[in-house]
Amino acid sequence: MRVHYHQNDNSATLRALGARPNGSTFYVSASKRYLDGLFGRYTCIDFNLNFTAANQNGRIGFGGLGRNGAFRDRYHLEPAFSIAQFITRTMAVGYEFRAMPQNQLVGDNALGDAVSRTSDWQDIFLAYCPAKSVSITAAYARLGAIASLPAQNGLYLSLNASV
């Protein structure tokens, strides 16, 4: 089991929304690599079970409001998983999914419902690893509604290198 602790700097804004600026997420993870998976190539599967009160992975604080308007630190069990299939020795294609808890923010009204609406996150990706210390990943992420803003979807590009 692992623990992630998050601390946000905009505590006044988050408290006005009815969330705490800091909190922890507890999770367990299991991974399986198949050396002779689909099409005779590596196949990687990962599953996580998160115990969290985080709103949008902690970006909009932790917890929310109960029906009486008082702060409520509701933890939820939320699954996440990914699968990656190597199509060559250096290139993989995959899919990721992460469920998000639904905590009520602002208040039990139309504004609160709009700000609180959370979509599960998912993406498809293509990763290229030309060397052990270099990887390039391109993805299309579907994050859905975040803080009442619909269709927070888009492209992602990452370059990782180490020595």
Task: Tell me which residue range forms the domain holding 116.
Answer: 2-161
Tell me if 97 sits within 8 A of 120, measured CB to CB. yes
State the total domains in the chain.
Answer: 1
Tokens coding 95: 């899919």
- Give the distance, in angstroms, between the CA of residue 26 and the centroid of all CA atoms in the same chain: 13
The Cα–Cα gap between 142 and 128 comes to 21
Mean residue pLDDT of the chain comes to 90
Q: Which residue did the predictor score with more confidence, 83 or 113?
A: 83
The Cα–Cα gap between 74 and 58 comes to 13
> Angle at CA 44, nearest 5°, toward 41 and 49?
165
Instruction: Determine the residue type at 150.
Output: P
Report the C-alpha dihedral over residues 80, 86, 92, 95, rounded to 10 degrees: -30
**Percentage of the chain lying above the pLDDT 90 cut:** 56
Q: Give tens-digit pLDDT for 30-72.
A: 999 999 988 889 999 999 999 999 988 888 889 888 877 788 8
Q: Give tens-digit pLDDT for 110-129.
A: 677 777 778 899 999 999 99
The Cα–Cα gap between 78 and 1 comes to 15
